[in-house]
Each structure stands twice: as structure tokens, then as C-alpha cells.
Amino acid sequence: MSIKHPIIAITGSSGAGTTSVIRTFENVFQREKVKAAIIEGDSLHCYDCLEMRKKAAEAEKQGDKNLSHFGPSTNLFAELEALFRTYGETGNGRHRKYLHDADEAAPYKQDPGTFTPWEDLPVSTDLLFYEGLHGAVVTPEVNIAKHPDPLIGVVPVINLE
């Protein structure tokens, strides 16, 4: 946790409501004139869309039907922890974007499902805002959860009535 360079992490799986939480924060940032460096968890996957499909097909041929973007073998946990640590200490860091669709990809002249090159975060940001699956990961090798404050986990609400 850093007072000078705070990190907010929103974690939750697809459908849990992270988008609603993110929109709320974005409205607050805009209203309060907060300049946030925004990091999407998808940008820290190991493989782009085509590579992941190939890896999943190879794994399935080996009998592993569970390869997904949830696990450590398909994510850059060390890089995420390094980004959080560096940002907390200096207000700087490096990031890339995952281009989800044609609209996001067009300005980069890349295909959807690919990553942009790594680049420095914008200068003079007030905080780092992370949204993704892995903002609270702790393994024997990394402790991502110790860096953000606040760390917000979003879970789906299931109404059975």
C-alpha cells in the first residue's frame, strides 16, 4: 500500500458486477478530476486469443480440459506484482492493452484479440486502478494482494426466488 501512489484493485469474474463498480469509480474520478492509470487484467494474460486457443487445444490433446485464463500458467502474475510494487514506490510502471474488439484495435492498426506493445504508464497520475481476475493473487512466488488499498472483491448476487 502506498499513500503517495495508491492502487485500487477491483477483482471478480465475468458477470460478477465489476463493470458496474468500474463505472461508479470512473464517474467519481471524472467528478473529482482524478487522473487514473487504468489497467485491465486481460492485458496480463500470457497468450493472445489465437495463442490461447492453440494452447487449449494442445492441452486438451494431452487430456487437460481445464486450461483457462484463471490459472498461473496463463497469466503474468510476477509482472502484475512488479507493476503494483513499482507504481506504489514511484508512480510509474509499464503496461500494455488487450484489444478486445475491432473498435479497440483500430487505433493501433492491430487485430482484435492481440496485445499492444508494452509502454510506460501516463505520467503524473493520481492512482493506479486495476480491474481483473487476479488483483488479490497470493502464491508462493508472488503476493499481489499486499499492494492495493482498497482491494475490492466483487461476487455475483444470485437470486433464487
Go through the domains of the chain in sequence order and give each one's CATH number: 7-48+76-153 (3.40.50.300)
Backbone phi and psi for residue 99, each to the nearest 5 degrees, phi listed first: -95, 105
CA distances from 134 to 51, 59, 65, 146 (A): 20, 22, 21, 12
- Rounded CA separation 147/87 (Å): 9
- Residue whose C-alpha cell reads 497470493 in the numeric block: 138
- Rounded CA separation 78/147 (Å): 13
CA distances from 103 to 4, 15, 60, 96, 111 (A): 35, 22, 32, 17, 10
- Cell representation of residue 36: 487514473
Q: What is the pLDDT of residue 14?
A: 72
Contact 119, 145 (CB under 8 A): no
Q: What is the pLDDT of residue 70?
A: 86
The mean pLDDT values, 10 residues at a time, for the chain of 161 residues are 86 78 90 95 95 94 89 94 96 96 96 97 95 92 92 66 59
Q: What is the pLDDT of residue 150?
A: 82
- Rounded CA separation 107/100 (Å): 13
Beta strand 119-120 with 36-40: parallel, antiparallel or unpaired?
Answer: unpaired
- Rounded CA separation 85/125 (Å): 15
Global pTM reads 0.89
